[in-house]
Amino acid sequence: MLPQKLNIGDTIGIVAPSNPIVGDNIEELNQARKIIESKGFKVKYSKNLFSNTNKYSATATQKAEDLNSMFKDKEVKMIWCAKGGENSNSVFDYLDYEAIKKNPKIICGYSDANSITNVIYQKTDLVTFSSTNFKTVATDETDYSLNEVLNRFVNLSLNLGLQDDEDITIKEGKATGTLIGGNLSLIYGLTCGKYSLDFKDKILFLEEFALESEPSLVSNHLYYMKQNGVFDKIKGLWLGNYEHESKITLEQIVLDTIGEKVNFPIIKSNYFGHTEKKTVIPIGTKAMIDTQKTKKIKLLENCVKFL
């Protein structure tokens, strides 16, 4: 199920399903609003956007209320997560998945927001997106990530990154599958249980925030996924940014975990994740990895629709 494209003049709804918007974040959010409005869009803040009821975030029901309301709001054409954090999974039990199915629209963000975008896709079949967060529009040093958002949602671009953004081959091969994934520390938490993801025939994209995840913790998460059969199910693996001070790389840890004899291709790119360059990756869209190509991954179908 595809969401409608975004048009200049449309309203974008802002939600905070993760950490609270407090301190400097308030000014950063308001600055991001000015930037987005200067591009010709309207911005609508959710009811509980600035709530911090628990002193570490809004309550799960407050956050879910905002998400449900934004999906039901006919004025809102796109839902943008404000920032990351740790506990967006708290909303899973309170989301109105039937209402989401009846009101499909763009929802995007990265880091902790990837929990929500992957689960919404899993529960509703709505294509969702890993993209820069709303706050980051004001804090990025360049407009790369904002331009990627506009190119994907307004201009209907199917490009993943820019032409000169390099893809590196870690394990050769060619594969087609449906994209799912995002931040490793969140995706590993969706490996098992009530809200587990279906990894069968997927191209899994993974990145990790090096300032919060030591190589040993990255290894822990990957081994947990291996022990629960994830790497026996996927068609391909696409690694994103991980810049740890030790210089130990994400691909190094991956190969230590799953070995080099896997039967799927592995590539590495530095234009998604906790980095300045963040392309927009659709969750639930078919893609192809071909390590013989210069651009080693491409989308095979539209991820937003135009009526």
**Domains, the chain:** 11-153 (3.40.50.10740), 167-299 (3.50.30.60)
Between CA 154 and CA 3 the distance in angstroms is 12
Alpha carbon distance 221, 227 (integer Å): 10
Nearest to 175 by CA among 1, 304, 293: 293
Rounded CA gap, 152 and 156, in Å? 5
- DSSP code of 210? T
Q: What is the mean pLDDT of each run of 10 residues along the chain (307 residues)?
A: 97 96 96 97 97 94 97 98 94 98 97 96 98 96 96 96 95 97 96 96 96 95 97 97 95 93 94 96 98 96 91
Q: Strand 76-81 relative to strand 266-269: parallel, antiparallel, unpaired?
A: unpaired
Antiparallel, parallel or unpaired: β 286-290 and 297-299: antiparallel
Phi, psi for residue 227 in degrees, rounded to 5: -65, -20
How many CA atoms within 13 Å lie on the side-chain side of 306?
Answer: 9
32: enclosing H helix or E strand: helix 24-38
> What does the pLDDT read at residue 157?
95
User: What was the pLDDT predicted at 261?
Assistant: 84
Distance between CA atoms of 240 and 179, rounded to whole angstroms? 14
Beta strands in 16-150 (DSSP E): 42-45, 76-81, 106-109, 128-130
